[in-house]
């Protein structure tokens, strides 16, 4: 079977040319030399010489043509390489544009997500989750700090981690967060060790976590600094300017959403807190009592209810005016809150001068002891009204669930009866039914 590649390598025309060349320049002259005289051999020599000159000329032309072809081939190769580089750049740009489009398209879904709820916790969690997923690809750490309105310090509110076991020690932020707080501007650090703005040794003292690159942006709404969102990673140059720009876009949305959530939370707090004493309102207290009774039933533990009434409260209003009455109410609420702080109580202003306290896990005997100590603490407190020193006394009734009552309404009635019993016995005492 014929080799097809051989036919391609030596076409018929080339074969004929080779045979013709051999015949004209070797076979024919050698046979011809037998018939011509020796002195005529010079013509044969001239014939060969002429053909050699012609062959050299042809080879030279062919060499020049080959050189020209090589030059053109090199130019084509260079153009091809340039086009390859341009194509690679365009391909990367195309991928980058697609990623930008995907990210900025997700802003709509972020808005939809945060509009589902005005709850501050839910809104902050949605922002941290979206930023961690879209920008960091769920790698490294995302932390969200909010500003405490009272202390004006950063407080860790939300954290997303690649490693679930990682502990965030910087509860009030570190040098990077404080930089954003101080400058109220976004921050990009590509390599912490080569960034002259920050001292790595100070960072090690503040946070043992290994961080090499990060981006951070502030939450600002109407010139009010609300907090910071930060993404960091152990790898250098993990974040880019595009990442920072997108994070700023997210934080712009976050500023408005977080402010709305804080306003909503404040409104909710006002709805369930008494305006004068900042204690829970009677309606909210009744809901919490119902829930706490159910919880204590499930966990098989007692719950005690303390009902307090300020003795002869009307006398303060009559003698010193209603402003003095407000001062007395505030003072008593502060003493109750401070004294019972370790018991994790639920405290309510139940009526005009009445207060109710829920203490879960406290049996009757312990509750009576706590109530008596609280009564003495209030009695010992001095209060000055219109430059006149005075003392406040209270009557306290105690009832325990489920020993005294198995329903929340019945528990309130038993505590109320115990309180009136204390009033009837001369006030400034603790009683139970």
Give all strands of the β-sheet with 303-310 in edge-to-edge order.
346-349, 354-360, 303-310, 394-401, 430-432
Q: Cα(154)–Cα(33) distance, rounded to whole angstroms?
A: 111
Cβ distance 292 to 362 under 8 Å?
A: no
pLDDT value at residue 35: 60
Please give the pLDDT value at position 6: 44
Measured CA to CA, the distance from residue 235 to residue 190 in angstroms comes to: 9
* pLDDT value, residue 350: 92
399 bridge partner residues: 305
User: What pLDDT is stored for residue 5 in this prediction?
Assistant: 47
Taking the C-alpha atoms of residue 227 and residue 254, their distance in angstroms, rounded to an integer, is 10
Q: Give the pLDDT score at 415.
A: 96
pLDDT at 420: 95
Q: Identify the bridge partners of residue 307 per DSSP, sorted by sequence position.
A: 356, 397
Dist. CA 172–CA 178, nearest whole Å: 9
Q: How much is the pLDDT for 215? A: 95
pLDDT given at position 33: 61
Cβ atoms of residues 197 and 185 within 8 Å = no
Residues in the chain where the model's pLDDT stays below 50:
1-9
Q: What is the pLDDT of residue 377?
A: 96
pLDDT at 52: 75
Token pair belonging to 105: 């398209």
Q: What's the distance, CA 109 to chain centroid?
A: 16
Q: DSSP secondary structure string, 52-86?
A: HHHHHHHHHHHHHHHHHHHHHHHHHHHHHHHHHHH
- CB proximity list for 429: less than 8 A, separation 6 or greater: 375, 395, 396, 422
Q: Say how far apart CA 170 and CA 234 lie, in whole Å.
A: 16
Is 0.75 topped by the overall pTM?
no
Domains and their CATH numbers in the chain: 114-265 (3.30.450.40), 282-432 (3.30.70.270)
Residues 6+ apart with CB under 8 A from 415: 305, 306, 307, 356, 397, 398, 399
């Amino acid at each position: 079977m014929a080799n097809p590649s051989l036919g391609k390598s030596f076409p018929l025309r080339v074969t004929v040319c080779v045979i013709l060349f051999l015949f004209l320049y070797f076979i024919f002259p050698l046979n011809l030399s037998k018939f011509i005289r020796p002195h005529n051999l010079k013509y044969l020599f001239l014939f060969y010489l002429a053909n050699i000159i012609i062959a050299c000329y042809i080879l030279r032309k062919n060499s020049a043509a080959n050189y020209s072809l090589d030059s053109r081939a090199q130019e084509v190769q260079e153009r091809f390489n340039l086009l390859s580089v341009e194509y690679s750049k365009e391909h990367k740009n195309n991928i980058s544009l697609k990623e930008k489009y995907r990210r900025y398209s997700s802003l709509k879904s972020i808005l939809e997500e945060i509009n589902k709820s005005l709850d501050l916790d839910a809104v902050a969690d949605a922002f941290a989750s979206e930023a961690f997923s879209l920008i960091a690809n769920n790698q490294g750490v995302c932390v969200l700090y909010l500003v405490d309105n009272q202390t004006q310090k950063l407080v860790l509110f939300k954290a997303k981690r690649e490693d679930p076991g990682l502990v965030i020690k910087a509860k009030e932020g570190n040098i990077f967060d404080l930089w954003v707080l101080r400058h109220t501007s976004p921050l990009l650090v590509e390599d912490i060790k080569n960034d002259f703005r920050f001292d790595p040794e100070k960072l090690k003292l503040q946070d043992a976590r290994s961080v090499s690159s990060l981006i951070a942006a502030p939450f600002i709404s109407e010139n009010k600094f609300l907090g910071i969102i930060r993404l960091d990673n152990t790898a250098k140059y993990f974040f880019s300017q595009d990442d920072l720009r997108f994070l700023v876009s997210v934080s712009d949305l976050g500023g408005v959403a977080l402010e709305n959530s804080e306003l909503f939370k404040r409104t909710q707090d006002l709805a369930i807190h008494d305006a004068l004493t900042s204690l829970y309102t009677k309606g909210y207290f009744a809901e919490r009592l119902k829930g706490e009774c159910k919880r204590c039933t499930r966990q098989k533990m007692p719950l005690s209810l303390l009902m307090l009434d300020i003795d002869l409260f009307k006398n303060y209003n009559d003698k010193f005016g209603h402003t003095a009455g407000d001062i007395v109410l505030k003072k008593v609420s502060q003493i109750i809150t401070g004294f019972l702080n370790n018991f994790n109580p639920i405290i309510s202003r139940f009526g005009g001068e009445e207060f109710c306290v829920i203490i879960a896990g406290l049996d009757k005997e312990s509750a009576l002891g706590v109530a008596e100590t609280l009564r003495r603490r209030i009695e010992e407190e001095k209060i000055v009204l219109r430059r006149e020193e005075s003392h406040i006394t209270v009557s306290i009734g105690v009832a325990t669930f489920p020993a005294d009552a198995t329903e929340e309404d019945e528990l309130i009635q038993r505590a109320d009866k115990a309180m009136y019993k204390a009033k009837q016995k001369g006030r400034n005492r603790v009683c139970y039914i």
